[in-house]
Amino acid sequence: MEQTVEQKLKALWAWQSIETKIDKIRQVRGELPIEVADLEDEIAGLDTRIEKIRNELDELEDSIVKRKNMIKDAQASIKKYESQLNEVKNNREYDAISKEIEIQGLEIQVCEKRIREAEFEIKNKTEAYDATVKNVDFSKGELGGKKQELETITSETQIEEDELLKDVAAAETQIEERLLKVIKKLRKSFRNGLAVVSIERDSCSGCHNKIPPQLQSEIRQRKKIIICEHCGRILVDEEIANEEAS
């Protein structure tokens, strides 16, 4: 059996009333869910940074070990070349061996420079690592507190919210699909989530703009679904709103 316009309006108001109750419950939680999500993202980012710094420190330590081994090899080569100097037979051989000794000496200097640079980087990165770890520990403490607060609030309201979610699902079965799509879209359009509103003091209770007397009369007749010419919300008369409230 097809619904009358009055039945449709009452069904729309009933749906909006339940959604509003759900909104009020969620408002009690405030920004906590967002704050929890932001802290979790922040910690994940810091953990990634810690891992990156740790890998960089490992690479720097490895480079120092490699350079120290290169220095040992160069020192061994210098000793070998120095012993060969005593056996040279001409100036050309002497110059060639001396050149090799010089090259190995330069290699040692380069390695020592690279080691100092790596040690300086390790110092800076270790400081950054320690600071990041402190930030993670602080953020984890903050997250624990926020989660506990959210869990407390949620546990106090979850049963009521679950019941209201069942009620709103039942209310939606009383609204034709076309209208349901419209009010759901409207609901997302407004920060207060009001898609269906009543007349209050001759005004739309959604946008608070005045409603002309003739339009108010048409709304009260309940012969067609009327929207606010200013905000586009669906309007119901005071009696429907009062019936639902009582």
pLDDT in tens, 113-152: 999 999 999 999 999 999 999 999 999 999 999 999 888 8
Residue 245: per-residue pLDDT: 53
Q: Let me know: does 130 contact 49? Beta carbons within 8 Å.
A: no
Residue 246: per-residue pLDDT: 47
Angle at 45 between CA 41 and CA 48, to 5 degrees: 140
Residue 244: per-residue pLDDT: 60
Q: How many CB atoms lie within 10 A of CB 177?
A: 8
pLDDT, one tens digit for every residue, the chain (246 residues): 688 999 999 999 999 999 999 999 888 788 888 899 999 999 999 999 999 999 999 999 999 999 999 999 999 999 999 999 888 888 999 999 999 999 999 999 999 999 999 999 999 999 999 999 999 999 999 999 999 988 888 888 888 999 999 999 999 999 999 999 999 999 999 989 999 999 999 999 999 999 999 999 999 999 999 999 999 999 999 999 888 654
pTM given for the model: 0.58
Q: N- to C-terminal Cα distance for the chain?
A: 27
Residue 32: per-residue pLDDT: 87
Q: How far apart are CA 165 and CA 169, in angstroms?
A: 6
State the amino acid at position 85 in one-letter form.
Answer: L
Residue 169: per-residue pLDDT: 95
Q: What does the pLDDT look like over 15-25, one tens digit per residue?
A: 999 999 999 98
